[in-house]
Amino acid sequence: MEIGEKSFTENSDAIKEELHKLLKVSSCFQCRRCTNGCPVTFAMDLYPDEVIRRVAMGQLDRVMKCSTIWICSSCETCTTRCPNEVDIAAVMDFLKESAVRSGIQPPERKTLAFHESFLKEIEKRGRVFEGGLMQSYMLRSGELFSKVKNGSIWEDVKMGQRLFFKGRLPLLPERIKGRREVRDLMKGQRGPSSK
């Protein structure tokens, strides 16, 4: 996206427009309704209202590095309940996208690895093949190594076997005809460097 292709830390006009005009961060009056309704605050390092406040104050470096934006489960409760129509969940997405574009290593590296593996699947076939997704995630996240090491890999193997015998794990992926079209629609997803 145009906005993300600029350096985020420049705090450019386009970014300000996105955050203030479209996502309305400056309308926040700190009622904390977002934080009170959020189901995953127990795992966050900044509460959602703190993220919004810091964004409004221009502390973008801090919020791009927090775990909160990755812990957010996109349940949309905050956005739904905000009395001032701040699109909090969309701010979380905006910050994740910006963090990745700025080359920040997120504190939730495995979550990012999952998202990246997921998009790779779509790029390859136009659809997601769950078997392929899990293999790719295991490698990309380093989980394969750590799970083999601590023995927990067997739980995953058993899960896969059980799904297979229940008829829920097809062995062959589906591919769509419009794969090239889909790939074109995904161009530029990894930022300016891959263009």
From the CB of 5, what's the least distance to another protein, in Å?
Answer: 10
Q: Is 137 exposed, middle or buried (CB count within 10 Å of its CB: 0-12, 13-18, 19+)?
A: buried
CB 34 within 8 A of CB 48: yes
Say if CB 48 and CB 88 are below 8 A apart. Answer: yes
Out of 30, 31, 40, 154, the residue judged to bind another protein by CB under 8 A:
40
Cα–Cα–Cα angle for 49, 55, 58, nearest 5°? 145
Q: What is the dihedral angle through the alpha carbons of 158, 162, 165, 167, rounded to the nearest 10 degrees?
A: -130
Q: Ramachandran region of residue 50, left (φ > 0), alpha (ψ -120 to 50) or beta? A: alpha
**Alpha-carbon distance values, 12 to 26, 52, 77, 120, 141 (Å):** 16, 18, 29, 30, 33
Residue from 13, 31, 43, 148 that binds another protein (CB under 8 A)? 43
Counting contacts by CB under 8 A, is residue 42 touching another protein?
yes
Task: Determine the size of the site formed for another protein (CB under 8 A).
Answer: 61
Which range in 23-31, 46-54, 55-63, 155-163 contacts another protein by CB under 8 A? 155-163
Residue range at the interface with another protein (CB under 8 A); choices 25-33, 49-57, 58-66, 126-134: 126-134
**Where in 50-109 is the site for another protein (CB under 8 A)?**
71, 73-77, 79-80, 89, 93-94, 96-97, 100, 108
**56, 104, 144, 163: which one contacts another protein (CB under 8 A)?**
163
Among positions 58, 83, 142, 170, the unique one binding another protein when judged by CB under 8 A: 170
User: What is the CA 85 to chain-centroid distance, rounded?
Assistant: 22
By the criterion CB under 8 A, which residues form the site for another protein? 1-2, 4, 39-40, 42-43, 71, 73-77, 79-80, 89, 93-94, 96-97, 100, 108, 110-116, 118-119, 121-122, 126-131, 134, 137, 141, 159, 162-163, 166-170, 174, 176-178, 181-182, 184-186, 188-189
